[in-house]
Amino acid sequence: MSNNRFNRILVAIDDSPCSEKAVGYATDLVREFQSSIALVTVVPPTSPANYGADPLLGQQPIVVAEVSEIQSAAAQKYLEDVAKQFEGAHEIFLFNKVGNIREEILETAQEWTADLIIMGSNGRTGFDHFISGSVSESVIRKASCPVLVIPGKCD
């Protein structure tokens, strides 16, 4: 293994174009440094208010646990599909988390002792940015390792 500072690269992914671009950068770095790679995806907690049904149409309400299981299974499949792009990696780790996106990325980076975090930026501005904040900005401010952010407008 080469002597470099990026032996353990964590890539935060979702199914966005920016995330796909971040994966592209990560594959290049993993190939260059023969690094271990960890992919993390975070499913926000499910709110019961979002999943009602219309009894007049004969629809039964969806149980939140079932929705969480479906989302988690889809996220796991996505992780496994993306992991196939890293066949040359020293090691591949997959983290399928549920919770606050910012906190889970930072916690995973800390626990896995990442040397570098790679993530996309959704490019929100104005009111959207004010309301939701920026996950990438928060990760940059609080991470204990370098963060490579792939800029918004990745489509």
Residue 45 lies in a domain: yes
H or E stretch at 126: helix 126-132
User: How does DSSP classify residue 51?
Assistant: -
Residue 20 lies in a domain: yes
Distance (Å, whole) CA 30 – CA 78: 19
Residue 19 lies in a domain: yes
pLDDT in tens, 61-100: 555 667 778 888 999 999 999 999 998 888 999 999 998 9
**DSSP 3-state of 127:** helix
How far is residue 52 from each of residues 48, 60, 63, 71, measured CA to CA in Å? 8, 8, 9, 17
**Cβ contacts of 17 within 8 Å, gap of 6 or more:** 120, 154, 155
Give the pLDDT of residue 68: 78
Please, what is the average pLDDT of the chain?
82
Which CATH number fits the domain that encloses residue 75? 3.40.50.620
Q: Are residues 68 and 84 in contact, defined by beta-carbon separation less than 8 angstroms?
A: no
Domain count, the chain: 1
Residue 116 lies in a domain: yes
Residue 155 lies in a domain: no
Where does the pLDDT of residue 128 fall: very low under 50, low under 70, confident under 90, or very high at 90 and above? very low
Distance (Å, whole) CA 44 – CA 100: 6
User: Which residue segment(s) compose the domain that 108 sits in?
Assistant: 8-150
Residue 120 lies in a domain: yes
The yes-or-no verdict on residue 36 having pLDDT over 70 is yes
Q: Where is average pLDDT lowest: 5-9, 41-45, 57-61?
A: 57-61
Q: Where is average pLDDT lowest: 66-70, 117-121, 135-139?
A: 66-70
Residue 84 lies in a domain: yes
Residue 1 lies in a domain: no
Where does the pLDDT of residue 18 fall: very low under 50, low under 70, confident under 90, or very high at 90 and above? confident
